[in-house]
A and B are shown apart, each in its own frame.
Chain A
Amino acid sequence: MKEQLQALQQQAQERIAACESTAELEGVRVNYLGKKGELTAILKQMGKLSAEERPVMGQLANEVRAELESTLEQRGAALKQAELQARLAGEKIDITMPGTQRTVGHKHPLSIVIDEAKAVFLGMGFSVATGPEVEWDYYNFEALNLPPGHPSRDTHDTFYITERMLLRTQTSPVQVRYMEENTPPIRIIAPGRVYRQDSLDATHSPVFHQLEGLVVDEGVTMAHLKHTLDLMAKGLFGENTQTRFRPHHFPFTEPSCEVDVSCFRCGGSGCGLCKGEGWIELLGAGMVHPEVLRRGGIDPEKYSGFAFGAGLDRITMARFQIDDIRLLFENDLRFLSQF
């Protein structure tokens, strides 16, 4: 029996070594160590042995089993590793093939800029207000110190519905409407659509967008205006943006200014985008005219404020270096999907 066991061990070891796959190895295991395996078959003969031989043979059989199990395990591990390697090698793919895309929609570039501006101003404590686009002449002009016959009205190229009703030419009417409905402190921005009778070309559209801003409180100064618009410029065009405040004239602010930002392409040294000036006109602003405050039901002796209005289409075009405003309204997906 001892010889039988030794022969079995020898034979099994050889077969284990010859195994080429884990499946084959499992077959070998079952063949020798399984319930109906050869080792079991030998052990079944134990009953025929003498009482002296039995423990000796039992021990030997256990040794053989342990030996074979250990060998099986080692061989198994090696085969598994080899199989894994083979699988990995076989599953290699061309990682340069294109990825499978899910369709994700795109935000319109104007909305991107409007949302950024909202974020900047929400951070400074501004709320977002709106007003009607079909507006009374009163709010669009008269309440803003532009009575009928005022020369500045000429520059607005207004679309009229009736003598008194028009398409607003600016977002500034929101100022007076908001003041009528609210009391200071006021801090709002009002992005929206405005209309002027400009024929469509690369730089003009009869529909465009402005961002109005209004602050009214006690003790608001021009220094506050400068700080706010500095932050706006940096928020929209980057931390290194410089601003330049130039005196200007608007009937509804006094003092008035135009604000330029350092050209974000050349940084101020002069390039095609800024026409060599180093500056790009960003917006008009100023301290709210006392008459406009009064129209809004606010006492200019007690309160002061500032207002500003920026052209969002121009900012959007500058930001993305879009050279033709028509692209914003054509909505060609080849354009939209770039944003």
Chain B
Amino acid sequence: MKLSKKWLGDYIQLDCSDKQFADAMTLSGSKVEAFEQEGNQLQNIVVGLVTAIERHADSDRLWVVQIDVGSEQVQIVTAAQNVTVGCYVPVAKDNSVIAGGVQIKKTKMRGVASQGMLCGIDELGLSQHDFPYAADDGIFLLGDDCTREPGLAIQAALGLDDIVTEFEITPNRPDCLSVVGLAREAAATFAVPFAAPQPVLPSGTGDVNEHLKVQIDEPSLCYRYAGAVVQNVRVAPSPRWLRERLRASGVRPINNIVDITNYVMLEFGQPMHAFDMRYLQGGQVIVRCAGAGEKITTLDGVERELSANMLVIADAQKPVAVAGVMGGEFSGVMDDTKTVVFESACFNGMQVRATAKTLGLRTESSARFEKELDPSGCVQVIARALELVKELDAGDIVGGVVDVFPTPKSARSIKFDPAWISEFLGIDCPVATQTAMLQNLGCVVKGNEVTVPTWRNDLVAREDLAEEVARLFGYDNIPPVPMRGLANARLTPRQQLQSFVGDVLRAQGFSEITTWSFISPKGYDKLDLPADSFLRNSIVISNPLGEDTSVMRTIPLPSMLDVLSRNYNNRNASAALYELATIYLPPSSRGDALQGQGGAHEPEELPEERMVVTLGMYGAGVDFFTLKGAIEQLLARCGVAGYDILAIAEPYALHPGRAAALAIDGEEFCWFGEVSPQVQENYELGMRAYTCTMNFNVLFAHANRKVIYKPLPRYPAITRDLALVCDIDLPVLSLQREIEQAAGKLLEEVALFDVYTGEQVQAGKKSVAFSLRLRSAEGTLTDEQADAAVKRCVKALDKMGVSLRA
């Protein structure tokens, strides 16, 4: 909402700077986005009187003009052909700035000095809408609606000197989308007197009821319809003051009748429409729902199909306007319009909103109606419009107003409890002060009852009154007071573990990423996910921005692989990344819950939102075991022990020979490995990459971060190495488990330190070397004890067909 300072001045007198005004209004609830002096981009442009003119000696086109600019006489060379002696013209003097920020300096044109430039209307940042008589192509010759005084700044001469303040009005306050509404707010903010304008219906000739009949078929959708008729309309440009105010409000002047409807809307916030009576068959207005398949071509020339839940203004035969949204083509005022009907109606906000949305046609009018306007104001707005018709001599008024108002709105009362308000806000504000504040806003306060004005739909409960008091008291004047009382605040064990997982992963060099939760369904194809996988049953967004972001991921890998790919293609040589990613699992995506019932049906329950620890890495020196080590370290730090490692039979996305799952108590919870060559290619990854997904729920269920200290060893350890030869496919873990079993409790640690296949080893075999650290808690270990332990290992291994390396 753009507010003209001059217009506001009609209603209240303020003694403050524009900045103070903006700040105070912002702090009382009408947020000022910006304020600006009109025409402030123009500099050093003044009114000049043409005193002499002669052809340029050296040109057929150019004129040399002598101009009186008040303090001096200047000579300007112009190519314009419409300048004559005695004209008043805008003169951009030497060192001036015209619209668009263009600088004008004195120059010579074909040898003749020119001390500036004469301006056309557009060079002043204006158009023929502002000054209809301005030349299309030529210098703007100031008419008698300008102050024609040589030397006067052009802004002052044209009335291009208003201060325009732009407000952001919240949707609960449609009353503030008007000069009167903002004047009331300003008066309450600054505690200055304000009297709302009370337009008086001018008398006219004849009786409007003989020209216009109004019928409301849908009183729940149209609360009120008021109309008036003006005959012998004299369509003409509006006077300058009116054009000026429209311009300052951001509305383009058109002609006197249309300008009056816009002016009144800006003044009171109530949209109006002016119909050409020729277009209203039978002088009849019927407010009804559209018939199925009924069509209307709106003012913008678009034919629109209406549906039965849309409200229209119709004459005896056809719809002439979409109620509250837009008038029909040809229904508006033309140059040859003789008789107009002014409409001032009030429609159901939800209805207007739904219609505008369905038609994709949001107008100034619909934007106001959808916020639910006050039907009480309809007639005073008509009165105001007719006052202006009279003032502008725009036509002959027909006496009276047609006013159909099936259910007049009664004023609402709210219990007034000033003590509670003070307590609720944490302030001490006397009853008298609160009463005055509410009265300044148009409320009537009687004892412990506040009657709120009909234009304040938003005031319903005591909390609403508290807000009115608070904002006029000043939010900044409410003291900050610490809360008392105790609350038991700490992160839950789950939240603590989330944070800890991040700590451990970052310590291992993984950086955290944040990815979107929705992906392209093609992401599943890129992962080589089987076509019949339950995981393809994602939550689908019905109105996505695009296919790329149309389903909620059931797997975090597409996001991770995208990020790995982006980093790889941005030439980051290596990457180690993690995300505590959420996946969204509708019942149909969980094989366990609804086996085989996947498919598109209306979900009756929200999806499970599951957190998945997701890792991804690539780079020189990174391999399967780099990732495995990071996972083992993470699990060890989280105190998860006793998990098994399994090969994955048919892994998706992963290399079948380099993919593993971890399981605890038979439940798989972590899947990791090398990204398969095909998937690598799908994601344009030019090198081997590794990923892991781990169900955080299972991690949390088995995490045990309770630490109980173990005493440091008091006796020395003995280290023995075991070099073994076994079948090439025998997992080393089985050897290690055997050693652990056989060595007994003296074994402190067994570590694999070498695996070798090649010339020195028989084909189909591999050499595996372990280092055993043995220690006793009771005393220094003897060589004999150590040897005995190693012997037990060798014997046990021998039974597995594993021999000592010769």
- Enumerate chain A interface residues (CB-CB to B < 8 A): 102-108, 110-111, 115, 118, 121-122, 124-128, 132-136, 149, 151-152, 154, 159-162, 165, 167, 185, 187, 193, 195, 197, 199, 206-207, 215, 217, 219-224, 226-228, 230, 244-249, 254-258, 287, 289-290, 304, 328-334, 336-337
Of the candidates A161, A230, A244, A257, which one forms a contact with B542 in the assembled complex, judged by CB atoms under 8 Å apart? A161
- Given the complex of chains A and B, what is the CA–CA distance between A183 and B110 in angstroms? 88
A106–B510 Cα distance when bound, in Å, is: 7
User: How near does chain B come to A256, taking the closest CB pair, in angstroms?
Assistant: 7
Binary A-proximity of B540-566 (CB < 8 A = 1, otherwise 0)? 111111000100100000000001001
CA distance A326 to B512 in the complex (A): 16
Chain A nearest Cβ from B173, distance in angstroms: 7
Cβ of B7 < 8 Å from any Cβ of A?
A: no
Task: Quote the shortest CB–CB distance from A249 to chain B (angstroms).
Answer: 4
CA distance A195 to B515 in the complex (A): 13
Closest to A189 in B: B489
Contact A111 B502 (CB under 8 A): yes
Query: How far is the CB of A243 from the nearest CB of chain B, in Å?
Result: 9
Q: List 19 contacting pairs A-B, 8 Å CB cutoff, sorted by A.
A: A103-B576, A105-B507, A105-B509, A127-B487, A128-B495, A134-B552, A159-B544, A161-B540, A161-B541, A187-B487, A221-B481, A223-B427, A228-B483, A230-B480, A244-B27, A245-B478, A246-B31, A256-B467, A331-B577
Of B463, B475, B508, B543, the contact of A254 (CB 8 Å cutoff): B463
The reply to whether the CB of B678 lies closer than 8 angstroms to some CB of chain A is: no
- The CA of A128 and the CA of B172, in the complex, are separated in Å by 32
A256–B464 alpha-carbon span in the complex (Å)? 10
Instruction: Tell whether, in the assembled complex, residue A222 and residue B424 are in contact, meaning their CB atoms are under 8 Å apart.
Output: yes
Give the residue among A152, A223, A256 with the most B Cβ atoms within 10 A.
A223
- Evaluate contact between B506 and A105: CB separation under 8 angstroms: yes
Q: Which residues of B from 470 to 484 have beta carbons under 8 Å from A? A: 470-471, 475-476, 478-483
Q: A107-B512, A111-B502 are in contact. Are A136 and B481 (CB under 8 A)?
A: no
Stretch at the interface among B136-144, B318-326, B601-609, B771-779: B601-609
- Whether B606 lies near A132 (C-beta < 8 A) is yes
Residue of A nearest to B371 (CB): A151
Is the Cβ of B516 less than 8 Å from the Cβ of A247? no
Q: Say yes or no: B483 contacts A224, CB within 8 Å.
A: yes
| B570 touching A127, Cβ below 8 Å | no
Measured between alpha carbons, how far is A249 from B471 in the docked complex, in Å? 12
B510/A227 in contact, CB under 8 A? no
In the complex, the chain B residue whose C-beta lies closest to that of A164 is: B602
By the criterion CB–CB under 8 Å, are A247 and B483 in contact?
no
The residue in chain B whose Cβ has the minimal distance to the Cβ of A257 is B475
Residue B491 interfacial (CB < 8 Å): yes
Q: Which residues of A contact B517 (CB under 8 A)?
A: 133, 193, 195, 207
**CB-defined contacts of B518 to chain A, threshold 8 Å:** 206-207
Residues of B within 8 A of A124 (CB): 483, 489
Tell me, in angstroms, the Cα distance from A125 to B481 when the chains sit together: 15
Measured in the bound complex, the distance between the Cα atoms of B495 and A115 in whole Å is 11
Is the CB–CB distance between A223 and B171 below 8 Å? no
With A134-B539, A149-B354, A151-B353 known as contacts, the answer to whether A127 contacts B489 (CB < 8 A) is yes
**In the complex, which residue of chain B has the Cβ closest to the Cβ of A149?**
B350
When distances are taken between beta carbons in the complex, the residues of chain B under 8 Å from A149 are 350, 353-354
A111 in contact with B475 given A223-B427, A290-B463 (CB within 8 Å)? no
Residues of B within 8 A of A207 (CB): 516-518
B582 contacts A by Cβ under 8 Å: yes
* B531 touches A (CB below 8 Å): no
Contact A185 B487 (CB under 8 A): yes
A-B contact count (CB 8 A): 230
Residues of A within 8 A of B353 (CB): 149, 151, 154
Q: Could you list which residues of chain B lie within 8 angstroms of chain A, going by C-beta atoms?
A: 26-29, 31, 170-173, 349-350, 353-354, 357, 370-371, 423-427, 458, 461, 463-464, 466-467, 470-471, 475-476, 478-483, 485-492, 495, 499, 502, 505-518, 539-545, 549, 552, 563, 566-567, 570, 572, 575-578, 582, 584, 602-603, 606-607, 609
User: Do residues B570 and A332 form an inter-chain contact, with CB atoms below 8 A?
Assistant: yes
**Smallest CB separation, B364 vs chain A (Å):** 15
Query: Once bound together, how far apart are the Cα atoms of A230 and B510, in whole Å?
Result: 35
User: In the complex, A330 Cα to B427 Cα: how many Å?
Assistant: 48
B426 touches A221 (CB 8 A): yes
Highest count of chain A CB atoms <10 Å: which of B29, B467, B539, B572? B467
A334 touches B487 (CB 8 A): no
Tell me the nearest residue of chain A to B472, going by C-beta: A247
What is the minimal beta-carbon distance from B434 to any residue of chain A, in angstroms? 14
B57 to chain A, nearest CB (A): 51
Complex contact A206–B424 (CB within 8 A):
no
A334 to B458, CA, bound (A): 50
Tell me how far the C-beta of A261 lies from the nearest C-beta in chain B, rounded to whole angstroms.
14
How long is the Cα–Cα vector from A136 to B583 in the complex, in angstroms?
A: 18
Alpha-carbon distance A113/B457, docked complex (angstroms): 40
Q: Are A337 and B511 in contact (CB under 8 A)?
A: yes
Which residues on the A side are within 8 Å of B491 (C-beta)?
A: 118, 122, 128
Contact A222 B426 (CB under 8 A): yes
Per the bound structure, the CA–CA distance linking A161 and B471 in Å amounts to 39
Q: Give bound CA distance, A127 to B482, whole Å.
A: 17
Q: A105–B489 contact, CB under 8 A?
A: no
For residue A150, which residue of chain B has the nearest CB? B350
Contact of B481 among A160, A227, A247 (CB under 8 A): A227
Closest to B474 in A: A245
A206 lies within 8 A of B516 (CB): yes
**Docked pose: A178 CA to B486 CA in angstroms:** 19
Q: How far is the CB of A161 from chain B (nearest CB, A)?
A: 6
B513 and A108 contact, CB distance less than 8 A: yes
A residues near B516, Cβ cutoff 8 Å: 206-207, 329
**Which residues of chain A come closer than 8 Å to B567, judged between CB atoms?**
331-333
Residue among A122, A244, A336 with max Cβ neighbours from chain B (10 Å): A336
Chain A residue, CB-CB nearest to B354: A149
Structural contact, A254 and B467, CB atoms closer than 8 A: yes
A224 to B505, CA, bound (A): 39
Contact B489 A290 (CB under 8 A): no
Least CB distance from B610 to A in Å reads: 11
Q: How long is the Cα–Cα vector from A318 to B475 in the complex, in angstroms?
A: 25
- Nearest first, the 7 A-B pairs at minimum CB distance are A223-B426, A247-B29, A255-B467, A221-B426, A105-B506, A249-B170, A125-B487
Q: Which residues of B contact A151 (CB under 8 A)?
A: 171, 349, 353, 370-371
In whole angstroms, how far apart are the Cα atoms of A118 and B502 in the complex? 15
Q: A246-B26, A329-B516, A333-B567 are contacts. A226–B510 as well, Cβ < 8 Å?
A: no
Known: A128-B495, A206-B545. A187 touches B489 (CB 8 A): yes
Nearest Cβ in chain B — how far from A181, in angstroms? 14
Inside 8 A of B577's CB, which chain A residues have their CB? Answer: 331, 333
Residues of B within 8 A of A154 (CB): 353, 357
Report B-chain residues with C-beta under 8 Å of the C-beta of A193.
517, 582
A134-B606, A255-B466 given; name 4 further pairs at CB < 8 Å: A222-B426, A247-B27, A247-B29, A249-B173
